[in-house]
Chains A and B, each alone.
Chain A
Amino acid sequence: MKYIYDMHQMMLKNNVILVYEGEFTQEITKSVLAMAERNMDSIGEESGIKRKVFNVMVECLQNIVKHGDDYISGEIKINTAIFMIGKHKDSYIITSGNPIKNEQIDALKSKLDEINSLDKDGLKTLYKDIIKGEVGLTNKGGAGLGFVDMARKSGQKLEYGFESIGNGHSFFALKTTVPRG
């Protein structure tokens, strides 16, 4: 039973206020958002910060929902992912992790590196270019628009990493920091 205590300690140590592991759907997204909102309301978080955290959470969660069904490898369904929010004295940390195919690493990396190389105005221009450039909306949407928005709303660089998990897949971890006040 010790793992329960360990898990609790780990969450406290990392200031994790919410973790979800499993399959991601629109319904789950709504529930996670509602819980996080309630949490922020209960401590009287400033409305501007709340909005930014909400923004980043939505893009993060919907990214996973949208791409979740890409990662079915053979018999084993590996579309489960993790989503976490940490609340620190001076920031909220929104993290997610989900499996991706190895051949997607390069495209993701170059998208994120491009976003991280841009300043506020550069991100604004990129955002506008993406929304007007797309004709209609493909099922998968995106073209990295969610990442651009996460960078804009947080005002911070997006941190990321890839862990090889075998079977031609890697675990894609993404971390966004929203400063408080």
Chain B
Amino acid sequence: MAVLVYTENWDGKFKKATYELLSYANEIAKNTGNETVAITVGNVSDEELKKLGQYGAVKVLVNKEEKFAKFTAQAYSTLLADAAKAQSANFVIFANSYSGRALAPRVSVKLDASLAPGAIQLPTSYEPFVIKKKAYSGKAFVDYELTGDVKVLTLNQNSFKIVEDTKKIVIEEYTTDVADNEFVAKVVDVQKETGKLSVTDAEILVSGGRGLKGPENWGMLEEMAEILGAGICCSRPVSDLDWRPHSEHVGQTGKVVAPNLYIAIGVSGAIQHLAGVNSSKVMVVINNDPEAPFFEAADYGIVGDAFEVVPKLNEALKNFKAS
């Protein structure tokens, strides 16, 4: 029996998040007497594939066929579900990423499985199998019991640490029959944001709100992000006003994030915003209104004018980084 993990790759490379996901899956495998098997699609070198063996995978299935070169949810889910059957997998684990969310529900229907989307930690119990996940857009958590024989999980990013467990890994080319009509939805163009740390990948996020008064004032946030190696995001009004792109909006109806450090500048902290960021490990708020609700949720706060505080803080951070 196996725990099958869909290890996404980006132009043939894995990310830190891939190893976190694999470590999580491997922990479940150890606790359920299973082997950890990875599967990936695309042109990934053997050297890169072998890295998966450091985190517990004893086997990696790889599909390098041209017809799968571009993502299409319908065909990919057939490929993955068939692999799960071939490996007698009783768990299939995805990242709670855009592609994981697109695939996991389809795969779970094909396998007649139970699906838990957005696990935030290892199972609370194995018998019965209970996963803790967020609900009400981060305003609450629930215990979610999976009663099916096969279980499909998606794991939230930045919720599990990498654990090394070196295994001798076997690389196997893998394919299955997928009907042509499963490739109807075709990717015709990919627009990548280059040179920018994506909001969901960043371990530190600097966030700006309406208190910053206009898009021309983001320079000091960009400087802070540069010093800290952080990503940049914003509150909903800021993206609604088109000061910043929608892809940077975090909150209940934007992206839900969980960085190690979240620095909110000129963000009041409406309940919908907090819902999207309250899984951050440490939250700092800088706001000139001492009554801003964000101070209730934050770990550290400064009451003051962002236009005075942020440049000073940037200086202090620069000195700290240089020391």
> Do the two chains belong together in a single complex?
no
Q: B-side interface residues toward A, CB under 8 Å?
A: none
